[in-house]
Structures are given as C-alpha cells and as structure tokens.
Amino acid sequence: MNYFDDEYYMRKALSLAESAADAGEVPVGAVAVKDGIIIAKAWNQSEMLKDATAHAEILAITQAEIALGGWRLDGVTIYVTKEPCAMCAGAMVNSRISRLVFGMKDPKCGCAGSVLNIPDMPGFLHRFEVLSGLLANESESLMKAFFKNVRKSKDRKNKSKQDRNASTGI
C-alpha cells in the first residue's frame, strides 16, 4: 500500500463526509479497507439516529465486522476524515485494526495523538500504526463550511424570532 492508495481511500471518506454534511450531520466520513477492498463505508449519523455512539468510525467498524464475519479486524485500515475520539479510538483497539489513517486533527476530542494517544498506549493489549494529516485541508474546509452554515441558520432563526417579537410588540 502506498501513499497514493491512501489518498484514494481518503477521498472516498471525504465524499462520505460531504454526504454527512448534506444530511445535516457533522461532516465525518470513514471507510474500512482490507486487501485493497473497501469493506465498509459510513458517515456520522448521530443526529439522525439520535445516538452519541453513531460516529462514522463505529458504524464502519460494525460494517467491517459483518463483512469479515467476526470482530477481529486484522489487516484492516480505517480511513477517517477527522482524528477519532476516545470512543472510536478505543473501538479500534478492541477490534484490533492494523492501521488508522486520518485527516484533520481534533485538538479538543482527538485521541490518536492530540488529547490522548490511544493507538499507542503503553499497557494496552493492542497497538496500531497511525498516519495523520492526510488531506487534512479538505476535511477542515468541509468542517468550517458546515459550522458556518449552522451559525447562519441559527442567526436566521433568531432574526425571524426578533422580527416576530417586534411585530407583536413583545
């Protein structure tokens, strides 16, 4: 596997992150790859499923386990557009993935090097290789555009509330 393969799969993850944004979800996309074949594709669905555990990586891990017929993801690389949180990095340890490739760093929640380094914790039963920062600019601009839109629609809502209040004299 070389860097160009990594970029190919990360672009797939980015297009899934775009689908997340279109669905009103925080734009994070993930794919799981084994022997060059994509065995799972997912995007963050926390809003739709009303579930804090419905992160792209968790959904991709579950799909990959179904595809491989077991919970051990030996030889699997997970590509995700943003650095995984504690829960997702923990699930990667528990499912014994071989490698993680992620895009932008997450200084507040990232647990693959930013806040914690779960893939490389001394004493843990499993460690895995990490490549960070791949197409990070692309995932960052998706994220920025998403939150800009969220702010805009909040402003619009507030404004229409003010207008209503003004017209009713409240």
C-alpha 170/C-alpha 156 separation (Å) is 19
Q: Which stretch binds Zn ion (CB under 5 A): 12-20, 63-71, 79-87, 119-127?
A: 79-87
Q: In the structure encoding, which two tokens stand for residue 28, read together?
A: 């994070």
Q: Is the Cβ of residue 60 or residue 85 nearer to Zn ion in the bound state?
A: 85
| Separation CA 105–CA 112 (nearest Å) | 9
Helix axes 3-22, 56-68, angle to 10 degrees: 120
Please, which residue, 28 or 135, has the CB nearer to Zn ion? 28
Total count of residues recorded for the chain = 170
82 binds Zn ion (CB under 5 A): no
Q: Which stretch binds Zn ion (CB under 5 A): 7-15, 49-57, 100-108, 154-162?
A: 49-57
From 88, 91, 118, 143, residue interacting with Zn ion (rule: CB under 5 A): 88
- 69 Ramachandran zone, left/alpha/beta (phi>0; psi -120 to 50): left
> What does the per-residue mask of binding to Zn ion show for 50-69, with x meaning CB under 5 A?
-----x--------------
Which token pair is 75? 């030889």
Site for Zn ion in 124-153 (CB under 5 A): none
Report d(CA 101, CA 39) in Å as an integer.
16
Q: Kindly list the catalytic residues.
A: 57
Which residues would be at the binding site for Zn ion (CB under 5 A)? 55, 85, 88
